[in-house]
Amino acid sequence: MDGKSLRDFLEIPYDELEEMNLKVKEQRLQRVSVDKLRDERIKYLTEEKRIKAVTVCFTDLEGRLHMLDYDKKFLLKSADNLTFDGSSIRGFSAQQESDLRLSIDWSAFYWLPSDIFGPGKVLVFSQVLERDGTPYHADMRSRLMQLAEQLQAKDGTVVHAAPEIEGFLFKGRDAERHFHETNSFEFISTGGYYHSLPGDALRTFIDKAAEAQRAMGFQNEKDHPEVAPSQFEMNFSYSEVLIAADQIQLYKLLCRQVAAQLGLTASFLPKPVTGVNGNGMHMNMSLSKGGKNLFYDKGGQDNLSAMGWDFIDRILTNANDICLVLNSSVNSYRRLDPHYEAPNQIKASANNRGAMVRIPYGNERSARVEVRSVAPDANPYMVLYTLVRTGIEGPKSPEEAESKRNRTRFLPDNIMDAIRLFKGSEVVARLLGEVVQTKFAEVKQASAERCPKLLGSRVKPNEIQFHHEVTNQYLWNLF
C-alpha cells in the first residue's frame, strides 16, 4: 500500500481556498464577535477530520515570525492554556520570568495552500500574554490591535494600510546563512524593472508566490520584477491595519518558502548588494470614519486634507526619534544612501523619491500618506503602531509647517546614531513605554556591536549573519 492511501489530509483547490479565506477576512472587517468566531472555528476543527495540526504564529519584538505546530486534538483541549518559554526569544522575557502564554486570535485564521505548507494544516495568529493573562508589553501585535480597537471605539476611526514590500531572489537555498562562507549573493536575473520572460526563474517564483497570496485572501493588485537585478515586488490591496500587518508576515513567509522549494532564497535584507537599489517596505496609510477618507480634500495641497498634512508634519517632526523602529538593522542604513532613490530626506513631497514621505496622487478613495523610509526587515506591528500614534498624537514642531516641509534634514546614516536618538527620546518612551524602549535598544545594540562600526562600501558578513531575520543562532552563540 503506498503512502498516499494511508494518509487523508486536507488539500483544498486554490479557488476554494481564496473563497474561504476571503470570507474569514470579511468577518474580521465586519467585527464579528470573538466568541462567535471561536465557536465557529472550534466546531470546524472538531468536525474536519483531515486536519492534523494548527500552526500558531506570534511575532517577537524585533519582528521575527515564530510558528508552533500544535496537534489539532491537543489544541482543542488546551487552546486556553498554551504556554512557551519566553526567555529563549531575543527581546522577550528574562530567564526568571520566562513563562509566557499564547492567546489565539480566532479572527486571524487562514487555510493554507497544501503544496507550499503541506497538507492537513491551518494557520492562526496569536497574542502573547503574561502568566496572569494580561497582554505582554513586548508583543507589538497586541499593542497594534488595542490601538485599532481604541480608535474605533472612541469615534469610529479606522486605520487602513497597504505595504509595498520589495525583495531579492538569489541562487541557492539559505544563501543568507551561507554569506559568511561566500561573501556574495548570486543574482538569478539581471533583466531589471518590469522585464522578465514568462518562464524564467524570477517570473516562475513571482507567479507561484502570487498564486499562493491570492489563495490566502490577499486580494492581489500587481506583481513585477523591480529596478535592481533579481528584485521583485508583489502588491496587494489595502486593508485594516492589523490585517495588513499580518499579511506582511505571511508575504515574507510565503516568498521564503516558495523560493526554497525552487532551490532559491528570497531575501528581505534592506541592502544585501551594494551598487544597486535596496529593498524598501513603503507604508501607505489613511484614516477613515463612516466610510469617508479623512485624508482627502479636493481643494487641499496635493489633494490632501489638513488632517493628512498634520499627520505628515507630526511624523517629520519625530522622524529621527522613530528612525530605529523603521530601520532596525545595521544593514538597513546602507539603503539610506542618496545615490539610489534612498528616502533619507526628512521632508514630504509628491514627486521627490528621496523624501521620507511621499503624497501619491489620490482620489476620495485612494488619498493616502506613503512613508518610504521603512525597511522590509522592520517589525510591521511596531512600525504601524508607531507611525499611527506619532501621526495622530506626536508632538509638532513650533516651526512653521510649510518651511519645515521644504527644508531638508536627513535621517541617521548608521544604526549607532539611530539607537542613541531612540534611547534618548521622550516621545518614544511615551509611545512604546520605557521597558520596550530599553529592551528594543538593547537587542539592536547587541547586533550593532557584533558588526564593524563603519559601514564602508562592502557588505560585511557580520551584518548578515547577526541580522535578526537571518538568525544564525549557532554563530550568534559562538560570538
Cell representation of residue 113: 495552500
Q: What is the mean pLDDT of residues 145-151?
A: 97
- Tell me which fold the domain 157-478 belongs to: Creatine Kinase; Chain A, domain 2 (3.30.590)
**Each residue of 97-106: b (16+ CB within 10 Å) or e?**
ebebbbbbbb
Between 93-97, 214-218, 360-364, 372-376, the lowest mean confidence (pLDDT) is in 93-97
Residue 348: band (very low, low, confident or very high) from pLDDT cuts 50, 70, 90? very high
* Phi (first) and psi of residue 102, to 5 degrees: -115, 130
Q: What pLDDT, on the 0 to 100 scale, is given for residue 1?
A: 47
Q: Which of 111, 19, 102, 107 is nearest to 67 (CA)?
A: 102
Q: Which of 459, 375, 381 is nearest to 170 (CA)?
A: 459
| Whether pLDDT at 84 is above 90 | no
CB of 102 within 8 A of CB of 56? yes
| Whether pLDDT at 98 is above 80 | no
pLDDT in tens, 197-243: 667 888 899 999 999 999 999 987 766 566 678 888 888 889 999 99
Q: What pLDDT, on the 0 to 100 scale, is given for residue 304?
A: 94
Q: Which of 205-219, 268-282, 310-324 has the highest mean pLDDT?
A: 310-324
CB of 331 within 8 A of CB of 378? no
* Phi (first) and psi of residue 389, to 5 degrees: -65, -40
Between 139-143, 191-195, 328-332, 407-411, the lowest mean confidence (pLDDT) is in 191-195
| Whether pLDDT at 3 is above 60 | no
Long-range Cβ contacts of 220-227 (<8 Å, 24+ apart): 224/193, 224/194, 225/189, 225/191, 225/192, 225/193, 225/194, 225/195, 225/196, 226/166, 226/193, 226/277, 227/192, 227/193, 227/276, 227/277, 227/341
Q: Which of 109, 104, 106 is nearest to 20 (CA)?
A: 109
Mean pLDDT, rounded, of the chain: 90
| Whether pLDDT at 473 is above 70 | no
d(CA 74, CA 61): 28
Cell representation of residue 392: 495622530
- Percent of the chain scored above 90 by pLDDT? 71
d(CA 270, CA 99): 33
User: Distance of CA 137 to CAs 113, 143, 377, 378, 436, Å?
Assistant: 33, 8, 21, 18, 7
The helices-and-strands tally (H runs, E runs) of the chain is 19, 15
d(CA 301, CA 306): 9
What homologous superfamily is domain 3-134 in, according to CATH? Glutamine synthetase, N-terminal domain (3.10.20.70)
Q: What pLDDT, on the 0 to 100 scale, is given for residue 26?
A: 96
Q: What is the mean pLDDT of residues 112-129?
A: 95
- Hey, where are the domains in the chain? 3-134, 157-478
d(CA 47, CA 303): 52
Q: What is the mean pLDDT of residues 367-395?
A: 96
Q: What pLDDT, on the 0 to 100 scale, is given for residue 33?
A: 95
d(CA 4, CA 119): 11
